[in-house]
Structure 1
Amino acid sequence: MAVSPHPAHRRVIVLVAIGLGILASLVGVGLYGLTLAPQPDAGSPTATPTPQDVAPTAPGPTESRVAPHVIRSTTDAEDFARDAAEALITWDTTEFELTDYAQVIVDAGDPSGIESAALASDVRSYFPTTDAWAQLRIYGTRQWLTIDEVFVPTSWNDALAQATEGELLPGTIAYTISGTRHRAGVVGTDAQETSRPIAFTMFIACEPSFNECHLLRLSEVDNPLR
């Protein structure tokens, strides 16, 4: 197995992908092209809630933490998918910086570094822009995920059957996550909360390619495999 990139290198990847807003190539995983979700105007407090908007909302049911949600090491792909989904969607603007949350996802990526830049671009589409994050912080906005279903999509099984030798890493699997994305914060003196359905697919590689599961790519938000 290839040596993992130095953490400083991964930090640069995240800062470039999120801080500067530079999109990497729209590269697929194996036989798939996973396009990135467009970035709407996330600076309006009254915008319709999406994974990139700024709907002011109120404190969520989480206590202060000393670090962002950690994706635990495991060889179980479904457990990894659940943990990674929580880490991807859960954040609190009053606790950590935007790049801190994104770094957790990138650190769980392909240890060879081959997919790191592409994954960082995928991650960017799930987070507010830096300007939007600053506005969300004014409202003390938090976000979290309630998972309803975690399943291997039928289309992935079809793809595996059609894939040629060497096209996908051994142990690669897709899990689609569906559930509810919640946001909460305070506008003036009024606590507000919004929620909306959310669905996405995570492409994960475990044994025998790696001795623990790693995240390769993400589908665009609300355009999962079924």
Structure 2
Amino acid sequence: MIALIGGATILLALIGVGLFGLLRGPAAAQTAELQTTTASSRPAPRESVATPNAVAETKDAGRFARSVGSALFGWDTRADGGANAWAQPLIDASDGDEANGVAADVRSYIPDGALWDELRTYGTRQRLRIEAIKVPDAWAAARSQASALQLPPGASAFTISGTAERHGTWKGTPVATERAVSFTVFIDCPDSHPCRLLRLSRPDASLQ
């Protein structure tokens, strides 16, 4: 979210949204926390209006997780269709049994409703610069403690770390913010079938 305050320094209020992860049960309604960051003096790049992209259909677990991360943090309020248009490709990439949970997770990450409309007045768009992706050490312990029915045989987890970049316009002046993000993507890559999304961790509460 770009909420800008006039003065010597332009401050932006970013919305950090809480998620329930794979091991914490059903996801609850969207909540928001305000986080203030300093606006960058760099001009926003001239770019066309983005459109939602489908998550990669692949058997490569790492590539699939990377594609999920990019889709989760990449959106453009200037585009038609609203927040649902950006959430749908991720829901379409989910495992059928986990679709409701994934939908709740995704909608918590992506601004919705009145917040989306407010961000649109600033032409807000966001993208993720992925800097690291790895299988967390805690995943082996989680698998060993799970019962046979809790996790499918092809389940895996990837913790993604990177920088979420937001650009927008305030009173005709381009502004930008950056913030570090970390989250875990839980996926299933069954033999001979493309990977599917199981759940998402809470942002900045990823498995290590």
Unaligned runs of 5+ in 2: 1-19
Which amino acid in structure 2 is aligned with residue 103 of structure 1? Q
Taking the aligned partners of 2:66 and 2:128, their CA distance within structure 1 comes to: 10
- Asked whether 1:101 is paired with 2:92, we answer no
RMSD: 2.5
Which amino acid in structure 2 is aligned with residue 217 of structure 1? R
Q: Provide the residue aligned with 2:4 in structure 1.
A: none
SS at match of 2:69: helix
1:155-182 deviation digits (Å, cap 9, x = unpaired): 0111122333232111000111100011
Q: How many residues align?
A: 184
Cα 1:40/1:114, change in 2 over 3 Å = same
Q: Provide the residue aligned with 2:122 in structure 1.
A: 139
Higher mean C-alpha displacement, 126-135 vs 157-166: 157-166
TM-score of the two chains, using structure 2 as the length reference:
0.80
Taking the aligned partners of 1:62 and 1:215, their CA distance within structure 2 comes to: 30
TM-score of the two chains, using structure 1 as the length reference:
0.74
> What is the CA distance between 1:41 and its match in structure 2?
6.2
Q: Provide the residue aligned with 1:33 in structure 2.
A: 24
Q: What is the aligned-residue identity percentage?
A: 39
Taking the aligned partners of 2:142 and 2:151, their CA distance within structure 1 comes to: 10
SS at match of 1:48: strand
Which amino acid in structure 2 is aligned with residue 194 of structure 1? T
SS at match of 2:187: strand
> What is the CA distance between 1:58 and its match in structure 2?
7.3
Contact 2:49 / 2:76 at 8 angstroms: preserved in 1? no
Taking the aligned partners of 1:166 and 1:40, their CA distance within structure 2 comes to: 33
SS at match of 1:73: coil
Taking the aligned partners of 1:82 and 1:76, their CA distance within structure 2 comes to: 10
> What is the CA distance between 1:109 and its match in structure 2?
0.3
> What is the CA distance between 1:222 and its match in structure 2?
1.0
Contact 1:59 / 1:142 at 8 angstroms: preserved in 2? no
1:190-209 deviation digits (Å, cap 9, x = unpaired): 1100010001011000123x
Q: Provide the residue aligned with 1:179 in structure 2.
A: 162
Taking the aligned partners of 1:48 and 1:36, their CA distance within structure 2 comes to: 25
SS at match of 2:97: coil
Taking the aligned partners of 2:171 and 2:93, their CA distance within structure 1 comes to: 38
Q: Provide the residue aligned with 1:169 in structure 2.
A: 152
Cα 1:182/1:36, change in 2 over 3 Å = farther
Unaligned runs of 5+ in 1: 1-25, 50-56
Taking the aligned partners of 2:43 and 2:31, their CA distance within structure 1 comes to: 23
Which amino acid in structure 2 is aligned with residue 225 of structure 1? L
